[in-house]
């Protein structure tokens, strides 16, 4: 059968754009459908604007810390609209770049949301398109549980376009998005509380990292409330839908906030795809089930990135796209290593992690040792801030290889990238020890761990 396209991509996010561009460069006839802005979540309502907000919010702490270095900062003020609108201009610039990248590669961009008609056909805005292969790369969306007053909260999507900042805000959730936005709001001068129903923030991270980071968030000025859950929410003034909200907690207490952000996870964005018409099976939370080569239950339909609910990270989606291209054009079976993926949380302080946590290493039955230290960075000897940094290294005793590295502190994301290369390459503790440290930096701690830093386990 003759199809209109060799490949039709649903979703122009990071993974979809990479797959479509490279496929087009290899002479595939490719179309991509996108109902929102080009670039997907990361560019528009995710990592890029979030990081810009983090940069902006860090000045809130920086001005006070500068006094110890001789800087006076009387009369400093913050204008939310400037940060918000400058961010939007930057995102619009990136949208144009993504459009040019696709256009220059020969990819046809179709505006609108696609849904399946069958395993080789999709419909966009009433028009049908056929393709030999269809790639689902629609990402994920925020999940907000339904309860009385859930319509009075916002998700991370809306945070990037608020008309104004509240005086007081509640962030609900305990994952990376929750702690990042709590840090942003706190740094921008908002009285910020972070409520999480569990015993500790950042489930899935190393336990020492979780505990240490939580303490540092409190030091930074965030009101962290663990074992706290919301029962219901109502308007303080029924005549003012944009006004303050009253939160009723499950412990019986109530409190008023100007903004309530729910950062309670993300789920695959598949509701409107009509996957059943293509015979595409889904699993937990609607995630598209794929095999190791990203093939779904329909042989002509593939999926990658957040919609598969494996590891929801932009660089992972891009790497998956490249692995899929190699599978299609080179016949290489995908051998994607989901271990040793460097990850950063842009909270304040930031977190960087790569490899196994101490708990994961224990669960795998490994014989390993742990080097760990925490300290006050040189900068804060003058800034007056009581912020501390944590560094942790896991070493497998069988072969001396470093199997995990974790950090909480300034520039953790930048530092962990280099360690990710070393761990991916199989570096040993002896290799770390033989590396000359860059002095004076926090990063040098990772190559100067001695027996005195061994953690008792």
Helices then strands, each counted (H, E), the chain: 12, 21
Largest alpha-carbon pair distance within the chain?
74
CA angle 303, 417, 365 (to 5 degrees): 75
Catalytically annotated residue among 73, 248, 406, 439? 439
d(CA 391, CA 209): 9
Which residue reads 């489930």 in tokens? Answer: 203
380 is catalytic: no
H or E segment at 257?
strand 254-257
Residue spans of alpha helices (H) in 38-138? 40-45, 47-66, 80-105
**Phi, psi dihedral angles at 406 (to 5 degrees):** -140, 140
Residues paired with 171 in a beta bridge: 194, 261
Report the relative pairing of strands 5-10 and 30-34 from DSSP bridges: parallel
DSSP 8-state symbol, 227: S
How many CB atoms are located within 10 Å of the residue 202 CB?
Answer: 23
> Which residues have a Cβ under 8 Å from the Cβ of 229 and sit 6 or more positions away?
195, 197, 249, 250
Buried b (16+ CB within 10 A) or exposed e, 121-131: bbbbeeeebbb
Residues paired with 104 in a beta bridge: none
The answer to whether the beta carbons of residues 5 and 30 sit under 8 Å apart is yes
Residues paired with 124 in a beta bridge: 114, 127
Which residue reads 């908002």 in tokens? Answer: 190
d(CA 207, CA 408): 12
d(CA 311, CA 343): 10
Q: Checking phi first, is residue 31 left (phi over 0); if not, alpha (psi -120 to 50) or beta?
A: beta
Catalytic annotation, residues? 439
């Amino acid at each position: 059968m003759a199809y209109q396209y060799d490949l039709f991509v649903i979703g122009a996010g990071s993974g979809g754009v990479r797959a479509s561009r490279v496929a087009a460069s290899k002479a595939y006839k490719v179309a991509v459908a996108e109902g929102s802005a080009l670039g997907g979540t990361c560019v528009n309502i995710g990592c890029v604007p979030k990081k810009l907000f983090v940069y902006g919010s860090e000045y809130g702490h920086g001005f006070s810390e500068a006094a110890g270095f001789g800087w006076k900062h009387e009369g400093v003020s913050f204008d939310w609209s400037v940060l918000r609108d400058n961010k939007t201009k930057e995102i619009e610039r990136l949208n144009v770049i993504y459009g040019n990248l696709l256009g220059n590669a020969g990819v046809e961009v179709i505006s609108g949301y696609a849904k399946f008609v069958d395993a080789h056909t999709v419909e966009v805005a009433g028009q049908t398109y056929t393709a030999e292969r269809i790639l689902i790369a629609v990402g994920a969306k925020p999940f907000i549980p339904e309860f009385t007053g859930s319509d009075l909260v916002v998700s991370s999507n809306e945070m990037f376009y608020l008309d104004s900042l509240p005086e007081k805000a509640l962030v609900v959730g305990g994952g990376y998005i929750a702690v990042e936005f709590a840090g942003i709001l706190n740094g921008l001068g908002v009285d910020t509380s972070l409520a999480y129903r569990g015993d500790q923030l950042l489930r899935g991270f190393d336990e020492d990292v979780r505990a240490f980071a939580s303490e540092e968030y409190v030091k930074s000025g965030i009101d962290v409330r663990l074992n706290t859950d919301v029962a219901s929410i109502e308007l303080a003034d029924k005549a003012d839908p944009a006004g303050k909200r009253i939160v009723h907690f499950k412990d019986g207490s109530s409190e008023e906030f100007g903004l309530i952000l729910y950062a309670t996870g993300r789920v695959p964005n598949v509701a409107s795809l009509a996957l059943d018409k293509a015979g595409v099976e889904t699993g937990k939370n609607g995630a598209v089930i794929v095999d190791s080569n990203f093939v779904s239950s329909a042989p002509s339909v593939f999926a990658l990135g957040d919609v598969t609910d494996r590891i929801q990270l932009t660089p992972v989606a891009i790497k998956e796209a490249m692995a899929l291209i190699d599978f299609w054009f080179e016949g290489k079976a995908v051998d994607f290593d989901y271990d040793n993926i460097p990850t950063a949380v842009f909270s304040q302080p930031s977190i960087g992690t790569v490899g196994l946590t101490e708990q994961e290493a224990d669960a795998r039955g490994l014989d390993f040792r742990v080097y760990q230290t925490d300290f006050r960075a040189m900068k804060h000897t003058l800034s007056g801030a009581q912020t501390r940094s944590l560094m942790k290294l896991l070493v497998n005793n069988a072969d001396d290889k470093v199997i995990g590295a974790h950090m909480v502190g300034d520039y953790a994301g930048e530092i962990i990238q280099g360690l990710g290369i070393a761990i991916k390459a199989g570096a040993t503790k002896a290799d770390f020890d033989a590396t000359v440290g860059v002095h004076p930096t926090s990063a040098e701690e990772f190559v100067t761990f001695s027996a005195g830093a061994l953690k008792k386990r």
